[in-house]
Amino acid sequence: MVRWEPGTPERLQRAALELFATRGFEETTAAEIAQSVGLTERTFFRHFSDKREALFHGQERFAQAFLAGMETAPPDASAIEVVACALETASAFFPDERRPHSRTRQSVIDRNPALQERELHKMATLATTLAGAFRARGVGDPAASLAAQTVTAVFGIAFTQWIRDGEDRPLADIADDVLAELRTLTSGSPAPAG
């Protein structure tokens, strides 16, 4: 019988990240992750299909943050206003105290192609989900797909900047700036010099 163990996935996820960061992803086994927090390999596999998934726990809540933001937009909001609402709520999902964790996680992903592909898959799945939510608001195609990919592209670029060494602005402010840059870019004014 499977007992409900509050916080177990989170404990395993933290342990996995620490071991991946110190020993390397390839060099760490699911059994070692479980043992490092006093659990068994069997318990690990009750929560995750493989060790890669331990880095992607919470993906549904991540997607929900974007969707919840879309719902804060009034029904007659333009698609770009809904994009901005999604970015705002998703940014709040990453408060400043989470930045060190996000930096460590990204450094682990950057070192492993299988994790990079999984991360790309996560963002592509998010874009598909968001496109559906834009369609449900009455946005047609291809605007719904474009709006969804605008959200994920702006978020991805802002997030990469947020975890850069020395960056201390909140994610929401960076996302605002990146979205403004996209509007400047697509309005066709001259490209800013580097």
Q: Which chain residues interact with a second copy by CB under 8 A?
A: 76-82, 113, 116-118, 120-121, 124, 134-135, 137-147, 149-150, 153-154, 156-158, 160-161, 177-178, 181-194
Q: How far is the CB of 120 from a second copy (least distance, A)?
A: 4
Q: How far is the CB of 163 from a second copy (least distance, A)?
A: 14
Question: Closer to a second copy at the Cβ: 103 or 135?
Answer: 135
> What does each C-alpha distance from 101 to 2, 153, 172 come to in angstroms?
30, 21, 17
Q: How far is the CB of 15 from a second copy (least distance, A)?
A: 26
Question: Closer to a second copy at the Cβ: 54 or 154?
Answer: 154
Q: How far is the CB of 79 from a second copy (least distance, A)?
A: 4
Please compute Rg for the chain using Cα positions.
19
> What does each C-alpha distance from 134 to 75, 111, 122, 158 come to in angstroms?
11, 34, 18, 21
DSSP 7-36: THHHHHHHHHHHHHHHH-STT--HHHHHHH
Question: Biggest alpha carbon distance in the chain?
Answer: 64
- Name the burial class of residue 94, with classes exposed (0-12), middle (13-18) and buried (19+) by CB atoms within 10 angstroms of its CB: buried
Element (H, E) at 186: helix 171-186
Question: Closer to a second copy at the Cβ: 34 or 53?
Answer: 53
Question: Closer to a second copy at the Cβ: 14 or 135?
Answer: 135
Question: Closer to a second copy at the Cβ: 95 or 136?
Answer: 136
